[in-house]
Structure formats: structure tokens, C-alpha cells
Chain A
């Protein structure tokens, strides 16, 4: 096995792009990906012919059998490396890792990574029902009326039972994230949010309420990865990959080893080890936030706070911009955008922007190291990424 530490500083993200976000009915899912990709390419100052690899994830609204090939076809690309990587919300980190490995080995030089779909406007009613029906184990979960918020609700309830995390603390995650979204012009949600409003929103799967759940968007995101050598010749300040780690423990919650301990601890440990840093060195974190319980668990598993202290960290404002560790500075999936794998990909986009600097009121002061945590399934597949604006 190759020395994993060799990936540190080997590649950089040199361009990022977001499609239009919200309800974008005039663009298909592929169209949203194309828009985000063009913006990322323009941001990097590169030409289409420079791209020699493409990685994308999956789409529920446009479930092409070979999504990577379909996207290349749409974009007019004929790259030497192309794949669709399906690890749910963990896909963007996993794609970055595979892009980095390919570049570090010399198998590709400049890889376009993109994901997203038109989840807000692209579904017919039948298609939405069909999608919902395939969530959960077909034999051992679906017949019982299981649903994604319900699985996460069971995690939340067990977590609250064991660690005393409170209902108000869950709400404070949504409020924290919304306050950041209000500083981000591309965020879908534009109005302030209070804990009381979260607690008064309708029950979806007790204890989770509507405002504990991520939003639904038409959206795609893209970033361009290249070698550190090439990055140094381009116009943007490169944002280098320092560390990446993965852990996959299950897919369906009924097979999860635990309802309180997940793979983020191990994926984080691997990423920290590769980067040669620890949680205290991190300046900002973009944590997967499909439901409000999740960033609390991740904050703890990634070693930022002790087990059980994640809820109060949010409640006391430590995760705000200007706080001890700003979390989800773009507004996260709770308030910025969520469209399949794009949700987590925007955490990478935002980290790159923060590490370049110049984000106005949203800017985290002296940001040098950002951590992005992606998870897919029901806390099933995990990928932790550490990025820096310095090569070493």
C-alpha cells in the first residue's frame, strides 16, 4: 500500500463554482452541473481542453445508468478518467480523494468534480414516491414505513437519552446555520430563524421537526483539482488537500454497529493523521447537516468537543462566525442548499472560498485550515477532508 501521507500537499483545488440555487426550473440536473462546472472552470482560469478527468456522484431526478458518461456527453468531454461515485452524502469527499490519488499517481492532471440535481422542480409526483420507496432496507425497513427523517430521529432520540442533548440544542444548530446563510448571497433561505420557530414547526418524525430537516433545492456544485505544481501557475491562491480519511460501517440503520457511535471518529482520525494536525488546529468546519442532530454528533466524533458537549457548543454560540469554531459558514444544507451530493460538495466550495479569503462579513479571520465532514446514508459512509491555503 502506498504511503497515504504522500497525498498531503500533492494536489490543490484551483476553481469552485455553484449553479443557480433554489427553484431553477429552466435547467435540468445535467444543466445545473454544466453551469456549476463552467463557473468552476472560469474561476480557475482554465480551458475545457485542460480537463482530463471527470468525477460525479448520482442523481435521483435523472438516474442515468452511467451518470459520469452522461455528463461527459452533455459537456462534450472525452476524458481519460470518468466515474460516478455513489457514497450518498459522502460522495464529494470520496471524489476529491480519488481525484487526488489519480493526480498524485500521474494518471490525470486536472479533474473536474461535480454533483447536484434538480430536486426542487425536477420530480414528478410518481418519481418522488418511487425515490422515497427505495430508501430503507427493502425487506427489513420499508415494510414498516421507515423514512430518512425517522431513521435520524431514532439516532437523535438515543443520543438525547444517553448524552442529555436537548431539543433546544438541536434547534440552535438550525438557528446557527441560518445566521450564516443570511450572510451568503447564494443561500436559498433568506429570513432569520429563532429557536422558538424551530420548536413550533410541524413534527415530521418525533423528535425532529420540519426546521430540523435540510431544505430541498435545485442546485449543483463543482470544483477543479490539479497538481500542486500546476496550481502554482494559476491565478487563484491554491487550496491544498492536507488530509482525507474514510470509514464505512453500514448502509441501513438496522445494521449500524451503534446508534450513538459512528464512522466519523475513524475517518477524522485518518484525515488528521495524514494532515499532521489535530482538531485544535482547525479554523473552521463544514459539517454534514441533513438533520440538526448530525453536526452535534460530528463535532464530538471529530474531537472538537467531548462526547455530549456538542449541543451546548452550538447553543452557546461557539459555532458562529467569530466563535471558537465557525461551523457551516455558508449556511449548510439546512439553509444554503441541498440537492443530493451537492449539499456536501458546497462545504468544500465554501472552505475553498474561506481559505482564499475576502468573503466579507462571512469571512473567518485568519482562516488557514478547514475541515469538511461528509456523511452518506444514515451516518453510514464517512469522509473527512482537511484543506489548507498553505502547501506544507
Chain B
């Protein structure tokens, strides 16, 4: 996740690097019991750890019509979910190959 310094060497000379948006499902879970009423209407939904091709790992949902068929090792592609009020949330969809 973004931070003020590098957690490996504590260098604070950091720069933003644009991700190419491709990744692989490292692990996932299909949530049947929502943590709060906000997410209750979404169950079952997929939470996942995505290994980005660029290196970092990030947490997100796998969304889309075939999301519930997700498996470890699946290729995924970045997309953005409009949550309203100008919030565009990075998400992932399953990608062929």
C-alpha cells in the first residue's frame, strides 16, 4: 500500500508508478455473511488477494458475471467500480488466459 517511505529501506524518495492492471488471484474467499448492513445486499461476493504483474499484492473484489467461479491462479484485469460521489474503486474482473 502507498506510504511515506519504503518499508524495506526507508528511502523517502518515492514516486508513483502506474500499474499495467494485470494480475493473478493469489487467494480468495466467497463471503456469505456480510460484515455490516452496507454489504448485506451483495452476498455472496468475492474478496481476493491479487498479485499484480507489477509486483505488489492488493486486496479487492473480483466482480463481473463469472466472479463466483474464480479460482486460485486465475488471471484478472483491473477495472473501476463507480461508488458514487466521485469515488472510483479499483476492482478486478476475470480475464481470459
Contacts and interface: CB of A to CB of B under 8 A. Distances in A.
Given A132-B36, A205-B32, A255-B1, A140 B47 contact: no
B27 A158 contact: yes
Interface string A184-212: 00000000000000000011111110000
Contacts of B39: 145
B89 A143 contact: yes
Contact of B32 (A144, A161, A203, A255): A203
Contact of B42 (A136, A143, A145, A254): A145
A259 B47 contact: no
B1 A129 contact: no
B49 A253 contact: yes
The main secondary structure of chain B at its interface with chain A is strand
B9 to A, nearest CB: 16
Contacts of B27: 154-155, 157-158, 161, 259
Given A132-B35, A133-B35, A157 B61 contact: no
Nearest to B61: A144
For chain A, give the interface size range. 20 to 34
B1 A259 contact: no
Interface residues of B, number: 29
A219 to B, nearest CB: 23
B91 to A, nearest CB: 8
A145 B29 contact: no
A68 interface: no
A161 B26 CA distance: 10
B85 to A, nearest CB: 13
B36 A144 contact: no
Nearest to B3: A255
B67 interface: no
Contacts of A145: 31, 34-35, 38-39, 42, 45, 47, 61
B95 interface: no
| Most chain B CB atoms below 10 A, which of A143, A203, A207, A253 | A143
A254 B89 contact: no
A135 B72 contact: no
Nearest to A149: B33
A141 B29 contact: no
Contacts of B59: 137, 140-141, 144, 146, 253-254
28 contacts: A129-B37, A133-B36, A137-B59, A139-B1, A141-B59, A143-B89, A144-B59, A144-B61, A145-B39, A145-B42, A145-B45, A147-B35, A154-B28, A154-B47, A154-B49, A157-B27, A158-B27, A158-B49, A161-B72, A203-B30, A205-B30, A205-B32, A253-B49, A254-B1, A254-B57, A255-B1, A259-B26, A259-B49
Given A132-B35, A133-B36, 9 more contacts: A133-B35, A139-B1, A144-B47, A145-B35, A147-B35, A150-B29, A157-B28, A204-B31, A254-B1
User: Would you list the 10 A-B pairs with minimal beta carbon distance, nearest first?
Assistant: A153-B29, A147-B35, A145-B39, A158-B27, A206-B30, A154-B27, A254-B59, A203-B32, A205-B29, A204-B33
